[in-house]
Structure 1
Amino acid sequence: MKLFLDDRRPCPRGFKVARSASVCIRLLRKHRIHVLSLDYNLGPGRSKGLEVARYIVQSRRFPKHIILHTADRQGRLTMLKLLSRNKPAGVSIGLKPYRS
């Protein structure tokens, strides 16, 4: 499965969308995710994509390919550092920032 975490952007073709960190984590627990695309900001007062990145590291449920598509530069860097330091061999991390 390909999973796209974002609170407002349209979901790319071929992906399943999660509009919150909690839904994304639930899907990561239940399904084998091959590609995960993460946004950082998920709306005011809501959990961030960083919560999902922390879950991946703690649970060791790394998708084969992770894309950080957030436009938030600091959020992207924080998630990139966390995931890069902890990912197993064979997991790739790509950057695809969107402009707001």
Structure 2
Amino acid sequence: MRTINLYVDDLRDKPTGFRVARTMKEAVWYLENYDVNILSLDHDLGEWKGVLLPTGYDLVKHMCEHGLRANKIYIHTDNNVGRENMYQTLLGARRRGFIDSDIEIYHYPITENKYSG
């Protein structure tokens, strides 16, 4: 499988060297079809007709349930509660063996958050 870096965010600009997934569904497709080296996560992934769409936290739970992986996971969200939920869930899942023990998990972004829209 081809190796990529994946940036999951509904609004921000795609950083150089990354593919972008704007929804959880797109992110799951990339995680299932590519080897993901770096995964950078936003929490809030938008809404449709007033209903919140699945979040980065929903993606994290899906990854843990299905054994999906990235070599390194960074959390770039500005949502502090979402960041903590994603981070603690990933650490707990790694500790309990739901995700691979060699996955590196970081509580901060690897790239600068940019929004030109």
Q: CA RMSD in A?
A: 1.8
8 Å contact from structure 1 (residues 71, 98) kept in 2: no
2:66 equivalent to 1:63: no
How many corresponding residue pairs? Answer: 100
Q: Report the TM-score when normalising by structure 2.
A: 0.79
Listed as ranges, the matches of 1:39-78 within 5 Å are: 39-44=42-47, 45-78=52-85
Tell me the residue number matched to 1:89. 101
Distance 1:69 1:89 in 2: 22
Tell me the residue number matched to 2:28. 25
Comparing 56-65 and 34-43, the one that deviates more: 56-65
List structure 1 segments (4+ residues) > 6 angstroms apart after TM superposition.
none
| Unaligned ranges ≥5, structure 2 | 95-99
| Unaligned ranges ≥5, structure 1 | none
State the secondary structure of the residue aligned to 2:36: coil
Question: What percent identity do the matched residue pairs reach?
Answer: 26
